[in-house]
Amino acid sequence: IPPITVWTADYVVVGAGTAGMTLAARLSEDPSVTVAVIEAGRDYKENADVINESFVNVPGSDVIGVGTEETPTALDWQYYIENNPELRRTKPVAYTRGRVLGGSSARNFMLTQRPTVGSLDRWVSLTGDSSLSFQNLLPDFKRSATFTPPRPQLRQELPAATFDARNYGSDSTAPLFVGYPNTPQNFSKFVDLAVQECGIPRIQDFNGGKLLGGNYAAVTVDPTKGERSTSRVFYEAARNRPNFKIFLETRAKRLTFSTPAGGKPKADGVVVSSLLNGVGETGRIVAKREVILSGGSFNSPALLMVSGVGPTAELSKFNIAPVLINENVGRNLVDHVFGATITYEITPETRSYTDLAANPLFLTQQLGNFSANNLGPLTNPVADYLAWERLPPATASAIGAGVLNSYPADWPHVEYLSAPGVTGNFANLLQQNAVAGAGGKRYASILAALVAPRSVGSVKLASKDLKDLPLIDLNWFSDPVDRAVSVWAFKRLRQFFASKAMAPVLVGGVANEYLPGAKIQTDAQILEYLRSTVSTVWHAACTTRAGKTIQDSVVNSKWQVHGIDALRVVDAGSFPDLAPGHPQSVVYAIAERAARDIAAFRRAQK
């Protein structure tokens, strides 16, 4: 390797995303260790990149660039998923992953809530480590974020968003912001009433280990300016420390290992390629203590595989010299999917995202309202109200989804999201709303997400060079349970729209369904429609999952790669299982936990 750039640090972290930036900043709080971070993306707040910076900062612009048929933004890895026989998609399906300082925390929808007690008990049984229970992870959940309660005087929603202050930390210097947008979506209060009328009760807060019920969701936004809060806040904390160094626009190409005679392979560095000025500068960052992969669920397993750690078939296909065979690398890919969605035209008083997309004057006014007053629909990440439920046991059995009855009792099977706009097949949300709203009409949807998904996919290599992005097979709908639950959830969405609570907002009444429309009635018709609209909630996980041994997993409960020294994986890929709920809080929590695990390991070695 020509050593154009050689740098040495105690810890080398690959990826300054949600987990990596948090972890690296925490490690560098100890001035006695040095930390280097390698990040393929740029800093969205520097280089006078006003457009990309606003994509990140303005909560209401989160829908831009994430559509399945949209050209992804410059802050994206630009993944397209593999086709699968269950889907009826005519065009390649894009899958957003942030390639930027902050990673996917700079591209996500900002919803933040924690998994249930029972789902994290499953983490305990999968890893054999009780320190991963909800109660034991709670300090790590609290550590990153400063919480600001909703401001009812501004929000004026009826009934108000509720929360339980005991679920949040008391450290007001915690860098990440969690709070509520100052302007709720009008449509959400009707969803709130509709789901209650259909038997889903209100729950006080989604952050106390319970999810079953409905409420407004907390989001990662800064209460003062209303801007999105990302893991970049940890970069601000660390950037001036003399023991911290970040390599932006630099890609990790592969890991290097040394193997002492008779010993285990030991990770000792990362070969990198600088993307600056388009020049493929190659160098190596040497790790004196450990290499930590935080490249996310797609990139971390790919990096392991090109470096010789992975399934036999993958390594031999590309003639990669094995360092350690582990059949679990890149396997067990799970994701939450939007299984069903229904859209109606709504009344003019009930504003929706359609107004922003179709009315440039309104959009301009609201950009001003957002930046001057921290008010208006752009303060809101669009989907701000959630509800969760389980299928009744007899129903689950009757539709062939009886396996879901064995999930812990607090684990919801379906999540509903208020989505005031046209969603359709998620091809291009901005364009779909602009077209639908051109004549002055406005629309709103409710989405159903599968949060106990059964379909399992994989990450495989496209070549032995990571410049060829790995192949992502999500296998959506491959398990019949997911198909059956989606059809059931679709009918449930129709019940919500048929409720008395929803009647005042529907133009033309319940018979006037906009998408998919009254022509879709039988189960077979519904399923065929859902095959053409199923989309991701962008929660890909478990591709380097934590577990007990090399037979069932890639890392142990301290995130150390089985069979290799000085190498950990800390990101959504290392979840033992994908718990219900939006996962960013879990990613921050395991990054906080891993920083403490690594420090404890170092102290034990002294």
Ligand X SMILES: Cc1cc2nc3c(=O)[nH]c(=O)nc-3n(C[C@H](O)[C@H](O)[C@H](O)COP(=O)(O)OP(=O)(O)OC[C@H]3O[C@@H](n4cnc5c(N)ncnc54)[C@H](O)[C@@H]3O)c2cc1C
What are residue 114's phi and psi, to 5 degrees?
Answer: -105, 160
CB of 525 to ligand X, least distance (A): 30
In angstroms, the CA 64 to CA 61 distance is 6
CB of 584 to ligand X, least distance (A): 3
- Give 187 or 497: the residue with its C-beta nearer to ligand X: 187
- Give 79 or 190: the residue with its C-beta nearer to ligand X: 79
List the x/- string, 401-420, binding to ligand X by CB under 6 A.
--------------------
Decide if 562 is catalytic.
no
List the x/- string, 535-564, binding to ligand X by CB under 6 A.
---xx-------------------------
**How does DSSP assign 153-169, residue by residue?**
HHH--SSPP---GGGS-
Amino acid in position 286: V
Interface stretch with ligand X, choices 109-117, 167-175, 307-315, 431-439 (CB under 6 A)? 109-117
Q: Tell me if 107 contacts ligand X by CB under 6 A.
A: yes
CB of 498 to ligand X, least distance (A): 28
Q: Tell me if 17 contacts ligand X by CB under 6 A.
A: yes
Among 28, 105, 182, 328, interactor with ligand X by CB under 6 A: 105
- Give 110 or 446: the residue with its C-beta nearer to ligand X: 110
Q: Which of 187, 183, 190, 87 is nearest to 426 (CA)?
A: 87
Q: Which two tokens stand for residue 573?
A: 């890929």
Interface stretch with ligand X, choices 108-116, 404-412, 487-495, 507-515 (CB under 6 A)? 108-116
Residues 298-337 that bind ligand X (CB under 6 A): 299, 303
Amino acid in position 170: S
Interface stretch with ligand X, choices 33-41, 312-320, 330-338, 400-408 (CB under 6 A)? 33-41
CB of 154 to ligand X, least distance (A): 22
Among 61, 104, 229, 374, interactor with ligand X by CB under 6 A: 104
In angstroms, the CA 323 to CA 307 distance is 8
Interface stretch with ligand X, choices 32-40, 336-344, 399-407, 491-499 (CB under 6 A)? 32-40
In angstroms, the CA 315 to CA 61 distance is 41
CB of 62 to ligand X, least distance (A): 7
Among 35, 40, 221, 489, interactor with ligand X by CB under 6 A: 40
Interface stretch with ligand X, choices 18-26, 50-58, 410-418, 474-482 (CB under 6 A)? 18-26
**Residue carrying structure tokens 């930590």:** 292
Q: Tell me if 39 contacts ligand X by CB under 6 A.
A: yes
CA distances from 606 to 33, 255, 601 (A): 13, 26, 9
- Give 193 or 246: the residue with its C-beta nearer to ligand X: 246
Number of residue whose CB is nearest ligand X: 17
**Residue carrying structure tokens 């002055």:** 440
Among 111, 449, 489, 505, interactor with ligand X by CB under 6 A: 111
Residues 236-295 that bind ligand X (CB under 6 A): 251-252, 294-295
Q: 65, 72 in Cβ contact below 8 A?
A: yes
CA 432 to chain centre: 23
Q: Tell me if 140 contacts ligand X by CB under 6 A.
A: no
Among 14, 246, 323, 567, interactor with ligand X by CB under 6 A: 14
User: Coil, strand, or helix at residue 299?
Assistant: helix
In angstroms, the CA 286 to CA 449 distance is 43
- Listed in sequence order, the DSSP H helices in 134-274 are 134-143, 152-155, 186-197, 232-238
Q: Which of 387, 375, 383, 344 is nearest to 214 (CA)?
A: 387
Residues 430-469 that bind ligand X (CB under 6 A): 466
What are residue 224's phi and psi, to 5 degrees?
Answer: -80, -55
CB of 68 to ligand X, least distance (A): 11
Torsion-angle region of residue 150: left (phi > 0), alpha (psi -120 to 50) or beta? Answer: beta
In angstroms, the CA 113 to CA 151 distance is 19
Q: Other C-beta atoms within 10 Å of 298: how many?
A: 25
- Give 303 or 446: the residue with its C-beta nearer to ligand X: 303
Longest CA–CA span in the chain (Å) reads: 77
Q: Tell me if 200 contacts ligand X by CB under 6 A.
A: no
Catalytic residue among 336, 413, 539, 562: 539
In angstroms, the CA 120 to CA 141 distance is 13
In angstroms, the CA 141 to CA 585 distance is 7
List the x/- string, 342-371, binding to ligand X by CB under 6 A.
------------------------------
- Summary count for the chain: helices (H), strands (E): 16, 22
Q: Which two tokens stand for residue 318?
A: 């590309």
Q: 559, 590 in Cβ contact below 8 A?
A: yes
Among 86, 355, 513, 571, interactor with ligand X by CB under 6 A: 571
Q: Find the Cα–Cα–Cα–Cα dihedral 512, 430, 194, 476, rounded to 10°.
A: 100
In angstroms, the CA 289 to CA 287 distance is 6
- Give 110 or 404: the residue with its C-beta nearer to ligand X: 110
In a 10 Å sphere around its CB, with 0-12 CB exposed, 13-18 middle and 19+ buried, how is residue 594 labelled?
Answer: buried
- Give 227 or 345: the residue with its C-beta nearer to ligand X: 227
- Give 380 or 505: the residue with its C-beta nearer to ligand X: 380
- Give 299 or 326: the residue with its C-beta nearer to ligand X: 299
**Residue carrying structure tokens 């059956």:** 484
Q: Tell me if 391 contacts ligand X by CB under 6 A.
A: no
Among 269, 301, 576, 583, interactor with ligand X by CB under 6 A: 583
Among 112, 127, 229, 553, interactor with ligand X by CB under 6 A: 112
Q: Tell me if 67 contacts ligand X by CB under 6 A.
A: no
In angstroms, the CA 69 to CA 92 distance is 7
Q: Which two tokens stand for residue 18?
A: 């949600």
- Give 34 or 105: the residue with its C-beta nearer to ligand X: 105
Q: Other C-beta atoms within 10 Å of 42: how many?
A: 19
The 8-class DSSP code of residue 289 comes to E
Interface stretch with ligand X, choices 16-24, 399-407, 414-422, 470-478 (CB under 6 A)? 16-24
Residue count at the site for ligand X (CB under 6 A)?
42
Residues that bind ligand X (CB under 6 A): 14-20, 38-41, 66, 96-99, 103-105, 107-112, 251-252, 294-297, 299, 303, 466, 538-539, 571-572, 582-584, 587
* Residues labelled catalytic: 539
